[in-house]
Amino acid sequence: MASKSNPFTFLQQVRSETAKVTWPSRRETMISTIMVLVMVVFAALFFFAADQLISWLLSFVLNISN
């Protein structure tokens, strides 16, 4: 079982661990954000095109049977 420590010690440990974190710069954050947005747009366009193609193919196949 984990040993219990007081909240003050816990907060000191959290603060020391947070100081070890390498935070990204503003430029790195902006570049990553833009890359994510571009990939989201590409994915949305791809799935829209795939949905339209499948819809067209299904309507074509179903209309041929009539």
Q: pLDDT at residue 1 above 50?
A: no
pLDDT band at 64 (very low <50, low <70, confident <90, very high): confident
Q: What is the pLDDT of residues 3-60, one digit of tens each?
A: 677 888 889 999 999 999 998 999 999 999 999 999 999 999 999 999 999 999 999 8
The secondary structure of 6-44 as a DSSP string is -HHHHHHHHHHHHHT--PPPHHHHHHHHHHHHHHHHHHH
Distances, alpha carbon 49 to alpha carbons 36, 45, 46, 53, 56, in Å: 20, 6, 5, 6, 10
pTM: 0.63
Q: Which positions ≥6 away from 32 have C-beta within 8 Å?
A: 24
Q: Is-contact 24 32, C-beta < 8 A?
A: yes
